[in-house]
Every structure is written in structure tokens, then in C-alpha cells.
Amino acid sequence: MMLVSCRIKTLAIILFVAMATSYCGSKNYLVVNYQLPSETVTANESDISLIFEDQRAEQALVTKSAKMALKDFSGDFTLIVVSDGKARDDKKKRLVGAFSLCSMIKRIFKQRFENAGIRVAPEDQSQPTAIEIILKEFKLDLVERKWVVHMTYQANLLKQNRFVAGQTITGNAERLRVFGNKDAEKVIGELISDAVNRLNLEEFFPSGGA
């Protein structure tokens, strides 16, 4: 009986170590959940162009402390777009794909515009009206066991390549690091959702006309 008991305990320990190793294993990408807002915007334009520029003074996405904690992070992201369902607290999640930071943020803006009823033309089809997104800052830091992320961007409305209106959006968010990279993923998703959704599309496309 003692031999059987020892074998069972040994097996249990092996399984626990295997599960812990699998759970703790780091991946080289972060999963970002972008929450779409509920909105509808009336734009006179049939289509708009979406222009994205990366003007960050510091190209590094993460600080040294954050990089050490994230271990194998390559700088790539997996994007999931979340929308509200018909029932209360019902969430629909759609896997969009893998992206670099800039391509992900551009895709998120495209998702938001089209969700609001503003069609975005293909990149090779230039339109008279364009929204230009200029990324000024994006940085993930780890400060005293807290994930801290900063994001700043400028959104410009252009018509016939001329500036019409602009908005500057700055956001900061933090979340306690409990275990692994999950909290980093959550705080990035929360900040990007908040910052992107704070862009006032009604200011660019008033209900009474453009």
C-alpha cells in the first residue's frame, strides 16, 4: 500500500510540475482585446481614406523592466475585437489576426470607423476625405509590480489634402501584475479601447452635414 501511495504522490507531483511549467511558459506575443463602442455616425462621404503615421520619439514598445518581465515578447500582437451582443453582458469576440503595433492600431481604427458606419476605402484607392492618425507615444512599463501604459495620438480630418480639424488624445492606464502576462494584455486592451473610442467622430462628421 505504501508503494502504491508513493507512486500516486510522485505522479501527482509530476503532473503538477508539468501543468505549472505549461502555465508559466511565456509566449512571444501579447493578446489585445479591443472593445467596440455602440455608435452610429452619419457621414456624407461614401468612403474615406485612413492614413497612419508613426511619429514616436522612442520606438521601443516596452521599458527594460517590462521587457525582463515579458521575457520572450517579440513586439507582435494578436488582435481580438469585442462587440456587445443583444443580451445584457453578452460579448461577441472575433479573432482578427496577428499584427505589429502600428498595423494593429490602424486596424483598430478601421474597425471603429466601419462599426460607426464610416466606410474605409482600400489603401490603393485615395479618397478626397481622409482621417490621419499620427501615433505620438506608446510605451509599456513595469513600475513596482504595476503595469503602466501610455498612449498619445493626433487625429486629423483632411479634405483634398488640406487640414480641416484635429484632436489630440492622451491616455494612461495601470494594473497590478499578479501573474504572467495576462495583466499586461488587459491593461493594453483597456487603454487602447479607451483612447481610440474617445476620438469624437461627431466633431469630424456633424449630424447636420460634413
- pLDDT score of 169 more than 90: yes
d(CA 82, CA 37): 9
- pLDDT score of 9 more than 90: no
Segment 143-168 shows an average pLDDT of: 97
How high is the pLDDT of residue 87? Answer: 60
Q: What is the mean pLDDT of the chain?
A: 87
How high is the pLDDT of residue 26? Answer: 62
3-state per-residue secondary structure call for 17-75: HHHHHHHHCCCCEEEEEEECCCCCCCCCCCCEEEEEEECCCCCCCECHHHHHHHCCCCC
How high is the pLDDT of residue 42? Answer: 67
pTM (2 decimals)? Answer: 0.83
CATH code linked to domain 2-204: 3.40.50.10610
- Domain coordinates of the chain in residue numbers? 2-204
In the sheet that holds 49-54, the strands lie side by side as 49-54, 129-143, 146-159, 162-176
- pLDDT score of 11 more than 60: no
First-to-last alpha carbon distance for the chain, in angstroms, is 82
Q: What pLDDT digit, counting tens, does each position of 83-127 carry?
A: 987 666 778 999 999 999 999 999 999 999 999 999 999 999 999
- pLDDT score of 20 more than 80: no
